[in-house]
Chain A
Amino acid sequence: MIQILIQGFLLSGLYALIAVGFTLIFSVGRVLNLAYGAYLMLGGYAYFYTVQQLGVPKLPGFVIAVATGALAGLAMYQFLVKRLKGDHVAVEISTLILAVVIQAAIVLLFNESSKILLPIVDGVWRVGSASVTNNILTAMVASWFILGGLMLFVKRTHLGRAIQAVSMDAKGAMISGINTDRINLTTWAISGALGATAGVFFASYTQLNPSMWVSPLIIAVAVVIVGGIGSIVGSLIVAHIIGFMEIITSSLIAAELRGVFTMLLIIGVLVLRPQGLFGRGDL
């Protein structure tokens, strides 16, 4: 039971970190960035390449990974999304295609085989009979710090309020002197950085492979749909619902059914409460 609780909290923290960058873009641009999973993949592979292949120390390697994600987000907005001028369907199709292209590039550079990403933090933490790796524990703590920091940033800074303003009323934001294009660009960069951060932890929790972008994307979509449009707090709560649901399913029923209830939850919410459990349009 303790093991389930601990694992549930740890996995949920990781899922919250995975989902929050996706939530941010959905909230500000009202668009599903289907290449979001690719940020995680880029972060994971950038960390793997710099730390495990080039021998760069872990911290600078981590920073490079996060910067890679931020740059990917910037480039995606500047050269693709901006040019599609708010055509949501076109953005969603294009970002999905882009994710497949990035997957192909990863195969070309690193081949198709799975790779083990060494833990960012070594060691194991024991509580009675239960034990968890320090790596996933760090991921959870980092996730809470990042989410807390993001909440403070959004609520307490001029730039954060500008991001909120654009997400609620773009015209209102424009006539307040906010350059909505620059806010979108910033949001995509932050989202890319958050995705890459999550990617490093996710890859060290699972494995690195060229199709690893799919399952985090499903988690992120699930959190946004179930949580509702663009609510960071909603995302946090739903990440915990999904995380615990998966741990309980795989521990008590069957590991093969782990993701099935998440899918059923998405369908259930779409049918019964399309606006999501917490959706009302604010961050």
Chain B
Amino acid sequence: MALLTIENLFAWYGMAESLHGVSLSLEEGGIAGVIGPNGAGKSTLMDSIMGLVTVKGSIRLGGREIIGLKPAELVRAGIGYAPERAHLFPYMSVRDNLLVGAYTARGDIEKNLELVHGLFPVLAERWAQETATQSGGERQMVSLGRALMTSPRILLVDEPTIGLAPKICAGIAEALLRLNRETGLAILIAEQNVNFAMQLARHIHVLETGSVAVAGPTEQLRSDPELAKAYFGH
């Protein structure tokens, strides 16, 4: 059953139309990837789901139409978001950043902290460190951790590997796979790093200039030589 269904979505940044009729869906417990070059509309799509840009069309979460809800209401409805460039609170400690994430899920703090520290033990070790002084990889972990502190039903992750070393990317991929496997949390990942996205996602949507150019199960897209050459570079 589809947890998230997007149909014919248009989005605007000011006067500029950035998405042109995008449709996609994500199953309960699934992982889907949205890939595409810079400017394809990946972050706009994520921001649209999170209620941060003006949109038209339909976005349903568990059958409920969520267009028109404010970001705070969407978090309460079960959407967790780790955005591009993290948007952390730089002069707050790791722990306080995570606690801000728990603003709407205060009853789950202990349970969610245990989950986050289990996935990213380094955050438990460096709980008092200000995020302004952390490495890019650690900041990405805090961003994911903060999103998990909201007790989400679905996790949106935008460009989690940007600027990170391959070893750190592998660690992030492993953590997301483990999270999905152990908790059944549905994950939608927007990525430029095609290999990273294909390593995780069971379905891939290729965005080009604001529209879905190709979509399908990852293995199917990977095994089509023409598509593989056109979009995945091999």
* A positions within 8 Å CB-CB of B: 158, 161-162, 164-165, 168-169, 171-179, 280-282
Contact A174 B71 (CB under 8 A): yes
Contact A175 B100 (CB under 8 A): no
Q: Tell me whether B137 is interfacial, beta carbon within 8 Å.
A: no
Among candidates A162, A171, A280, A282, residue contacting B100 with C-beta atoms closer than 8 Å: A162
Residues of B within 8 Å of A179, CB to CB, are 70, 72
Q: A158-B106, A162-B103 are contacts. A174–B89 as well, Cβ < 8 Å?
A: no
Contact A161 B92 (CB under 8 A): yes
Nearest CB on A from B102, distance (A): 8
Residues of B within 8 Å of A174, CB to CB, are 50, 52, 71-72
Binds A, one of B25-33, B80-88, B177-185, B222-230: B80-88
Nearest CB on B from A85, distance (A): 13
Contact B146 A176 (CB under 8 A): yes
Nearest CB on A from B224, distance (A): 36
Among candidates B52, B99, B106, residue contacting A171 with C-beta atoms closer than 8 Å: B52
Contact B100 A165 (CB under 8 A): yes
Closest A residue to B146 using CB positions: A176
12 A-B pairs besides A175-B83, A175-B147, A282-B90 with CB distance below 8 A are A161-B96, A161-B100, A168-B92, A174-B50, A176-B101, A177-B71, A177-B76, A177-B101, A177-B104, A177-B150, A179-B70, A282-B91
Contact B88 A169 (CB under 8 A): yes
Q: A177-B75, A178-B72, A178-B100 are contacts. A171–B87 as well, Cβ < 8 Å?
A: yes
Contact-residue size bin, chain B (C-beta under 8 Å from the other chain)? 20 to 34
Contact B103 A164 (CB under 8 A): no
Contact B150 A168 (CB under 8 A): no
Q: What separation, in Å, do the CA atoms of A162 and B81 have in the docked complex?
A: 17
Q: What separation, in Å, do the CA atoms of A169 and B75 have in the docked complex?
A: 17
Contact A171 B150 (CB under 8 A): no
CB<8 Å pairs between A and B, sample of 18:
A158-B103, A158-B106, A165-B89, A168-B90, A169-B89, A171-B83, A172-B86, A172-B87, A172-B89, A172-B146, A175-B71, A175-B81, A175-B87, A177-B71, A178-B72, A179-B72, A282-B90, A282-B91
